[in-house]
Chain A
Amino acid sequence: MTLELRNVTKRVGVETHIYETDLTLATKGFNILLGATNAGKTSLIKMMAGLERPTSGEIRFNGENVTGVSTQKRNISLVHQFFVNYPSMNVFDNIASPLRVARESRKDIERRVHEAADILKLRPYLKRRPAELSGGQQQRTALARAIVKDSSLVLLDEPLANLDYKLREELRDQLPQLFADRGAIVVYATSEPSEALMLGGHTATVMDGRVTQFGETSGIYRTPRDVATAQVFSDPPINIASAQKRGNEILLGETRFAAQGPIAARPDGTYTLGIRPHFVTSTPAPNSAAVSGTVQVTELSGSESIAHFAMGNDVWVAQSQGVHAYDVGEKHDFYIDTTGCIFFDGHGALVV
């Protein structure tokens, strides 16, 4: 099964929500839409669901054009960021609702609802109404409604965003199993790079209404095609600065280090250097080069220390293992692992 977006755009009034987009999604693994809030993930999902019609372009399902087909006539499940269940029905009836609309037999409904309830550990709550459930139970009910249906397209729009940390981890582990072997195309929208990496599958990075890259999740993380993709797929945000290549050396402000990797073969000139925060630490290592900056903000997570520091006009983030003390407002030396540097040319494209 495939879901194909062909030259799809979406404009509302004078605003463009989605610029021309081509995307082909398949059944294998999750298809993750990764991007910040308002990047256009929900617009894409609504168009895939048929809740909104693209301004131009086509949506094809298994090669068939379904652009104008109403949502009711498509076999779709959708789970929202907000816990959406029917307030007047108990959990059983909520899960059963898509089956009832499809006029399945009473016996079938009972069997399938119980199956779904078992998978999502909702058995004890079948008699309760949504208002009497915790957030996690409400969202599990919504997920049960999505899996009970055997739909060919499952759309999950930040389904874990409103859950607390513990539940989020638990459900995130379960999700890929839930939808494995169901033969459905699963689309999962998230704003967290770490979530995309944990779920695996394929990722489309979305920024300001454009899909900047689509491919295998880990591949995109390792070699983002351009600066925008690298920025979307990094948390804390990737450090960016302008750097010069001169001969065999890279000049980053007053720091110089040897050019290695693909950049070594490129002509001299100005490039954009990108380096993920975990390659910038406060302890020197064999391959590292020192940079210094004024510490602005520090965050401690226990296993990691994060420092935001100003270097010229750029603000960088350093992510070091262990607990480090930084004096805010003071100059501090940081060490960049030069093997972690990636370079983009004048058009923002990755140097390969």
Chain B
Amino acid sequence: MNDSNALLTVQNVKKYFKGTKGCQVKAVDDVSFAVAKGETLGLVGESGCGKSTLGRTVLNLVNATEGGVIYEGRDILKLPQTEMRMLRKKLQMVFQNPYSSLNPRMTVLEAVRAPLDIFGIGTKEERFERSRDILKYVGLDEYQMYRYPHEFSGGQRQRIVIARAIISEPDFVVCDEPVSALDVSVRAQVLNLMQDIQKERGVAYLFISHDLSVVKHISDRIAVMYLGKIVEISPRETLYDQPGHPYTQALLSAIPIPDTDIVRERIILKGDLPSPMNPPAGCRFHTRCRFAVEECRMKEPKMRFDESGHGVACHRWKE
């Protein structure tokens, strides 16, 4: 993807957390990617690889150690607080746990209306009507508007959270594992709602998940993260058909297939995830990689792209 139609460009973002005794956790280490208008970029990786931190850093909810996020020609990580706040109208977030991301002391109406109240959009009546309409859109009845979050199921709450995220008509929404806490039966419902919203409103998603099937269902492009770095990024079909990075191959081989007749070769990774406090030198994946050679231990691989926009950070790609 070229930069001209990029909605949001993330450039060399790093987020290091300071630990005790001068230790540093490199949660996000030099990550770059771009999101186009109206597309869904899936972000997958195992627990603790820095997915959520990346999502929060992109929205400037945690301060980045280094790097920039370009939106509308400006680096939002360097904006003063007040200007950043005004931009949040256009950059929203959906959280993982719908049980904790709604204020228990606010009714559903108040929660959904909050972004309008914050930015002073419209008159009181207009705000009310927009909130009511958007709640109807996500499938809540009018009589439920005055209830409190704890009176709703997980799926309903997540739909409320989504309504809150889209009411200010954002261009870009970071979805941090939005369906991980939901039952499988409700999951599809929420995912379909998110896709409908995207079709109708042209909002772009950064969809963070550890569930490869979910990401495959919803994403246009997918980025794979390992130990704070993006190791592969590509259009959805390419990634699932021709995974380039050995880590992606291992991940994909772990997706369960709902058919007992198909026997597939499982790639079992050796060892444990190295500590992000002290990541391996060279390629971070070399300790667990079945193709690792001397070069991988010495030199960190750079992301290389082929003509289809498929990027892989591996020395031995296409060998």
Does A associate with B in a complex?
A: no
A-binding residues in B (CB < 8 A):
none
B-binding residues in A (CB < 8 A):
none
